[in-house]
Structure 1
Amino acid sequence: MLLTLSSASAQQSGFSLKGVINDESGNGIMASISIHELGIGTLADLDGNFSFKNLRPGSYHLHVTHVGFKSENRNIIIRENDSEVSIKLKESAIELESLTIEANPFKNGPLEQSQTILVLDRDFLERNNGGTFANALEKLPGISTINTGVGIAKPVIRGMSFNRIMINDRGIKQEGQQWGADHGLEIDPFDVDRVEVVKGPASLLYGSDGMAGVINISPPAFKQDNEIEASFTSMYRTNNDMLSNSLAIDGNEGDILFGGRFTAQDFADYRVPATQFNYAGFILPINENRLKNTAGRERHFSAMAGVKKAWGYSTLTVSRFDQEAGIFAGAVGVPNSYNLRHDGDHRNIDVPRQSNQHLKVLWNNSILLGSHWLELDLGYQKNERREFSRPHTQEVGPDNPFGNLALSLTLDVFTANARINKQHGDKGQSIIGFNTQYSENQQSGFEFLLPNFQSFQGGAFYFREYRYSDKLIFNAGARLDGAYHDIQEHLQPIFERLRPTGDMDQRNPDIQRQFFNASASTGLSWVFKENFNLKLNLGSAYRIPTPIELSSNGVHHGNFRHEVGNANLDRERSYQADMNFAYSKKNFLITVSPFFGYYDSYIYLSPAARFSPLPGSSIIWEYRQNNAIFTGGELRTTFHPIKSLSLSLGTEYVYNRNLDTGLPLPLTPPFSILSGLEYKVPQITQVIENLYLFVEIRKAADQNRVDRNERITEGYTLLEAGLGGDFQIAKQEVKFQVSGQNLTNAVYFNHLSRYRLLNLPEQGRNISFSLKIPLQVRNRN
């Protein structure tokens, strides 16, 4: 198909698009202009003129960006002739306003999208790299993380996580046992060029797992013809002696695209500002202020190859993420002074530990069919998760074939997504699409948590955008979804003092469940005055119960509890309202984003009134369903009193309530405020350029609203500061940053940390050093 399209493209003579970019005074701007569907871009000249040649007839989305100005997006239709366009950019000191939004299906900018979307570029991600991809998102209001130590983190949006948040990497949903709080995201933080966080109900376009929000991860933009670039990044963190190195290359030779990256991270046991902790009334030691067996290592590689032509592009990406991470010695079983003794090496990875490997093969296509665009994404993922610990005598026999392999889960996932975009002239656009996914899980090891299963789910949707005027835009859509789970029975042999008793314990029966449901949403974006923008989104979404919620029955060591599924769980339905009010001027921006959601048959884990018969556990936690509400909001503001000084403030609050028990839901983030100051130092030497200084203070309130048997967590204050910039070594540019986290070495507890259950404080003072060396291997000019 691609060869045929390429041949047809070569036989057609293309048309040109010319234009000029000016400021409000009519002066030309050397802006960056790109055509999203083709992945091509150019820079305007000194007078603001630019041109694209050899374009086929069809609809295109033009993105225009320049530092110090608001981004601009235009829908361009190329017919059987050349076209011209004139665009004026408005000045803005707000850096985020120079970024375009591409997460919405139309790729047409922030005005048309009714949902609350936050856009992060590579500069932001590199500046806030905390060792994991999820930790870099914590600087956004409404985003938190559930942590297990330092190397394992997963995002929380407005108090929801796990299977209610969808992570899309290059258009394919990331699948990696995301139901577990101790299961991190197998994503290299250095291999992320751009992130778009969609808050609120996004199930309509992405599937039922997008009930709370979606995080879209985008690769770097394609290089232009005969352009090759490389970069080397190195980072060191003092708290756990983490050393990270990442090497990348991207290029384009005659419209043949290629790229690759290799990243290695190694870290030791991390430090806490404490020498002991209290667990179940016992005072236990923390030797040398380090949590024993929290060291780890990560390796990641990715390779991309593809072709870019007038009909669009097609790329194939293969990546593999490999992680070995220790689990604090007191996290499995009951902690005691013996297993917490220092073993003489802060970098070794002993049992208990986890090993995670994630293989992805992604085929992404954007193809011009007549005047419409077809986006086709196909993916295969293989996630292998293994947990190692020493078995109890009740778990194995004398001929134990598993050794220390407590649990092995191998998940194979095949995904196919397709969307067709249709332009309706000046009255907007529409999109029709479908998503399908087939999953197969295989378990092994001497412990049991999740059985073997096969799952198939898919859905089709239609979404329409109607442009009433340039300042008032509506959208609405509907979706149908179905799913089928086939879960196999699991029988576990019972041993007593390493001898088989001959009895079998049925951990779960055969379960076959099928689901079918519909969802819908509508929204608007209204600019009712020049600087005011009101966005409102209403939606009803649903979520399919997962196999872990239907059939689990075992000790989940990362959560320190025996979890039991419920084969009779029904679908989860939500009714949500999300609003975003923004006021922006040249040097000031404020956004307020309240939300409300009513959840019918909300699925959650709750402690039961009985103890677990399994070793290494305490009481049983069961999956239940009750009606619940979630409400709250975020506020974000940025102010530039002078051009070089930026003041920022972000706040977030989540309130939820179980309507049947009258109690809050577990793992709810506390109210918090993040305030920051950044100063861009005027250039005083030819050696150092773009120097900046920043200070940030995070204030988290007490979390007194907790579920039954959930601990109250005291509030805390954290201080972070740093500086960065560019300097020249000979003719080579080097970007650097030095920053410090928890500079006061405060003793505090993160309410969402899984080690909070052991009364373990978070990591102490940390100083980060990072260097990035961009290399221009070949310039197209």
Structure 2
Amino acid sequence: MPLAAIISIHELGKSTLASLDGDFQFSNLNPGVYHLHVTHLGFKSYSKNVEVGMEGAELSIQLNESEILLASLTVEANPFKNGPLEQSQTILILDREFIQRNNGGTFANAIEKLPGISTINTGVGISKPVIRGMSFNRIMVNDRGIKQEGQQWGADHGLEIDPFDVDRVEIVKGPASLIYGSDGMAGVINIAPAAFQQNGAIEANYSGMYRSNNDMISHSVFVDGNEQDFVFRARFTAQDFSDYRVPAENFVYAGFLLPIFDNRLKNTAGRERHFSFTGGLQKDWGVSTVTVSGFNQQAGIFVGAVGIPNINNLRHDGDHRNIDLPKQDNQHYKVIWNNTIQLGKNWMELDLGYQRNQRREFSFPHNQGLGENEFGNLALSLDLNVYTANLRLNQQHGEGGQSVAGFNVQHSVNRQSGFEFLLPNFESLQGGVFYFREQRLNSNLVWNGGIRVDGALHDIQEHLQPIFVRLQPTGEFEQRNADIYRRFLNWSGSTGISWVYKDDVNVKFNLGSAYRIPTPIELASNGVHHGNFRHEVGNANLTAERSYQADLNISLSKKKVLVSISPFFGYFDNYIYLAPAPRFSPLPGASLLWEYRQNNAIFTGGELLSQVSLVKNLNFSLGAEYVYNHNLDTGLPLPLTPPFSTLAGLEYKIPALGKNIQNMYVFVESRWAASQNRVDRNERITEGYQLWEAGLGWDLRLKNQPLQLQLSGQNLGNAVYFNHLSRYRLLNLPEQGRNISLSINIPVGIR
């Protein structure tokens, strides 16, 4: 069948469109091995390593038909831009269409419809991903090859990623410490840019979105081009939102019934401005680009999250869009230099990055028992500078084998200020070297394995905090943490297989032992963390975590059926977590004191991902996830464990209504979450809930201009429910009420 498929070469960032007869060509390729990726709507994607000689190479590809909508959500295994095809872990590939369709205002919310992925939310504009019940420093997020560093240890610290500036996402569920570093113990999220335009082409794009619940208005403008092998792209995004609505008129805090005026949570509005620019060269020897980006967010914090809420400070102030105290101001700037260079038949990747994360929290000093001070209303400032270098060399070993060797190194410098204290000044140097080998044992069976050594140096400075009595400084100081100097060194390893049976069944099995280095926040914190509403204290004597994990994935993929089952199990030696101490905090604005502790624990569970084409153009999907964990020393569950949940949906593709209205679809989804009764000591039980979502989308052509539109509604029943992972759940505040979303995407071909 003739195809107009998209063919991409990962190493060079090149792509081309096949003719209607299925012909395609890449010219001026040097001899070597290239990773080819082919996609087409209505067909399974295709990946292959192709060796090109002096005379070039001819290739015949036949794609298998698929009526499954998840065809773009490809179960592929390619953790490198130029790397192994059959990594034994399952890697979910998400494309731009999936991200745009599920954009909820943040990047983390855009991916939480996948089984095994949850989010920790603080209000609306702040969210961070959870993989199989683990988050914070056990999940690594890589943006253009560089590990994102944004004080990710905090539940109220969102992921500083522009949701519009994401084209391709690779999600590794399970231990990935071998390749990416010790923070990949629970999983890795790789954010990769799209292939560059062909020479001489320039395209632009506008994306807009409106969400009724908090009156969010989003605008994003993008331009992408290639001028005589000079490639460039730029994006600017603006998002503004007001206080969000909840289906409740009051809430209970510390036994008191307090009002929610106009069903809106006061001071939960926000303002965001993001930009990115990429420029570089795309040659026959490879690609070299520099990306400069900035993430700027101001977000109000619900007044009950800092200090004690009362009727006076909860009363509506006349403007639902203003950002008052308490609030946070987050800025994240990055400069990333990416290089993919051909060395004979081999490929070298070199990624260098600098990023600066500035997180500032503002509140009234008297809420924390303080008077006039040199910082004014600046409660906490964390200024983190990070320098990163990654080097990888991919080498071919005949037709059936290849290897990747490399190293990562990262230097971090953190400086704090403000009238509050949580995390001290520190410098940290950490890195590792690894070797990964893959060997095809026969046409259907691939083995891989590798080993890694990681080390770290943490130099944490003493902090002395001024003592106030009756809002006045006494001239005396309290030592909140002593000087700490710690060194760590250990190894990680994994091995696995990928077996294909009759082209329809793929079995992947992975065994690994991972090693995670304690972070400065776990070693030295000592202050009120308002995002978690508690006083948190580090432990300078913590040792490194060690995990032993097994991961299995069995997938069946036919023309009308896709079923993927992924059970997992992990034993964690010296698992680090926060637990309540048997005493109250002496600091204002806190109740119980929470300490970082270590215990042995197990994690187990699994995910189901399935889709069935019931009749032509009608698809049914079902996803399910379950996480069970157990503290082997206390006999209790670990905190912040997502409940068992399912997501079921129906989608119907409507036949084209003439030439001007095409690609129409209508869908309905239902999320059911069970009650979470397995909770840690002093953690609240959360009741189950059911939510409904529906929508429709279509492509509209006005003369020669195409437009893509989607209208959808979330929580259509306006249900009152609590998300077990929401930080406002601790204040007995329900989640957002009914929301209607309208999005538009306008591509423009300039040349």
TM-score (norm 1): 0.95
User: How big is the alpha-carbon RMSD for the aligned residues of Structure 1 and Structure 2?
Assistant: 1.3
Partner Cα separation in structure 2 for residue 436 and residue 60 of structure 1: 27
Provide structure 2 residue ranges, at least 5 long, that are not aligned to the other structure. Answer: none
Say whether 1:740 aligns with 2:713.
Answer: yes
Partner Cα separation in structure 2 for residue 650 and residue 353 of structure 1: 37
Corresponding residue for residue 733 of structure 2: 760
Corresponding residue for residue 392 of structure 1: 366
- Report Cα offsets for 1:399-452 as digits up to 9, x if no partner: x11110000000000000010000112122100000000000000000000000
Partner Cα separation in structure 1 for residue 538 and residue 244 of structure 2: 34
- Report Cα offsets for 1:174-193 as digits up to 9, x if no partner: 00000000000111100001
AA in 1 matched with 2:424 = P
AA in 2 matched with 1:389 = S
Percent identity at matched positions?
A: 70
Corresponding residue for residue 335 of structure 1: 309
Whether the aligned pair in 2 keeps the contact of 1:492 and 1:506 (CA below 8 Å) is yes
Partner Cα separation in structure 2 for residue 379 and residue 108 of structure 1: 21
Relative to structure 1, the CA distance from residue 368 to residue 34 in structure 2 (aligned partners, 3 Å threshold; closer, same or farther) is same
Relative to structure 1, the CA distance from residue 543 to residue 562 in structure 2 (aligned partners, 3 Å threshold; closer, same or farther) is same
Corresponding residue for residue 673 of structure 2: 700
Corresponding residue for residue 611 of structure 2: 638
**Aligned pairs (5 A) from 1:171-570:** 171-392=145-366, 396-398=370-372, 400-570=373-543
Whether the aligned pair in 2 keeps the contact of 1:68 and 1:98 (CA below 8 Å) is no
Whether the aligned pair in 2 keeps the contact of 1:324 and 1:356 (CA below 8 Å) is yes
AA in 2 matched with 1:79 = G
| Shift of residue 108, structure 1, vs aligned partner | 6.0
Corresponding residue for residue 64 of structure 1: 38
| Shift of residue 582, structure 1, vs aligned partner | 0.6
Partner Cα separation in structure 1 for residue 319 and residue 727 of structure 2: 24
| Shift of residue 758, structure 1, vs aligned partner | 0.5
Partner Cα separation in structure 2 for residue 221 and residue 52 of structure 1: 14
- Report Cα offsets for 1:307-359 as digits up to 9, x if no partner: 00000000000000000000001011122212111111111100000000000
- Report Cα offsets for 1:382-401 as digits up to 9, x if no partner: 00000000013875454x11
Whether the aligned pair in 2 keeps the contact of 1:71 and 1:99 (CA below 8 Å) is no
| Shift of residue 107, structure 1, vs aligned partner | 4.3
Partner Cα separation in structure 1 for residue 381 and residue 81 of structure 2: 41
**Aligned pairs (5 A) from 1:534-613:** 534-613=507-586
- Report Cα offsets for 1:726-771 as digits up to 9, x if no partner: 1122211111000000000000000000000000000100000111
Partner Cα separation in structure 2 for residue 260 and residue 276 of structure 1: 45
Partner Cα separation in structure 2 for residue 31 and residue 413 of structure 1: 40
| Shift of residue 642, structure 1, vs aligned partner | 2.2
Corresponding residue for residue 729 of structure 1: 702
3-state secondary structure, aligned to 2:729: helix
Say whether 1:715 aligns with 2:688.
Answer: yes
Say whether 1:86 aligns with 2:60.
Answer: yes
Partner Cα separation in structure 1 for residue 38 and residue 241 of structure 2: 41
3-state secondary structure, aligned to 2:748: strand
| Shift of residue 500, structure 1, vs aligned partner | 2.5
What is the aligned length?
750
- Report Cα offsets for 1:139-196 as digits up to 9, x if no partner: 0000000000001000000000000000000000000000000000111100001111
Whether the aligned pair in 1 keeps the contact of 2:72 and 2:94 (CA below 8 Å) is no
TM-score (norm 2): 0.98
Provide structure 1 residue ranges, at least 5 long, that are not aligned to the other structure. Answer: 1-26
Whether the aligned pair in 2 keeps the contact of 1:395 and 1:446 (CA below 8 Å) is no
Relative to structure 1, the CA distance from residue 47 to residue 109 in structure 2 (aligned partners, 3 Å threshold; closer, same or farther) is farther
Corresponding residue for residue 52 of structure 1: 26
AA in 2 matched with 1:158 = R
| Shift of residue 81, structure 1, vs aligned partner | 2.5
Structure 2 counterpart of 1:163, from 128, 134, 137:
137
Relative to structure 1, the CA distance from residue 109 to residue 273 in structure 2 (aligned partners, 3 Å threshold; closer, same or farther) is farther
Corresponding residue for residue 769 of structure 1: 742
Partner Cα separation in structure 2 for residue 232 and residue 78 of structure 1: 38
Whether the aligned pair in 1 keeps the contact of 2:513 and 2:548 (CA below 8 Å) is yes
3-state secondary structure, aligned to 1:54: coil
Relative to structure 1, the CA distance from residue 586 to residue 109 in structure 2 (aligned partners, 3 Å threshold; closer, same or farther) is farther
Partner Cα separation in structure 2 for residue 41 and residue 268 of structure 1: 41
Whether the aligned pair in 1 keeps the contact of 2:677 and 2:686 (CA below 8 Å) is yes
Whether the aligned pair in 2 keeps the contact of 1:393 and 1:496 (CA below 8 Å) is no
Whether the aligned pair in 1 keeps the contact of 2:274 and 2:294 (CA below 8 Å) is yes
| Shift of residue 99, structure 1, vs aligned partner | 5.9
AA in 1 matched with 2:80 = P
Structure 2 counterpart of 1:75, from 43, 49, 53:
49
Relative to structure 1, the CA distance from residue 393 to residue 301 in structure 2 (aligned partners, 3 Å threshold; closer, same or farther) is closer
Corresponding residue for residue 94 of structure 2: 120
AA in 2 matched with 1:31 = A
AA in 2 matched with 1:301 = F
| Shift of residue 106, structure 1, vs aligned partner | 6.6
Relative to structure 1, the CA distance from residue 543 to residue 108 in structure 2 (aligned partners, 3 Å threshold; closer, same or farther) is closer
Relative to structure 1, the CA distance from residue 108 to residue 431 in structure 2 (aligned partners, 3 Å threshold; closer, same or farther) is closer
Corresponding residue for residue 724 of structure 2: 751
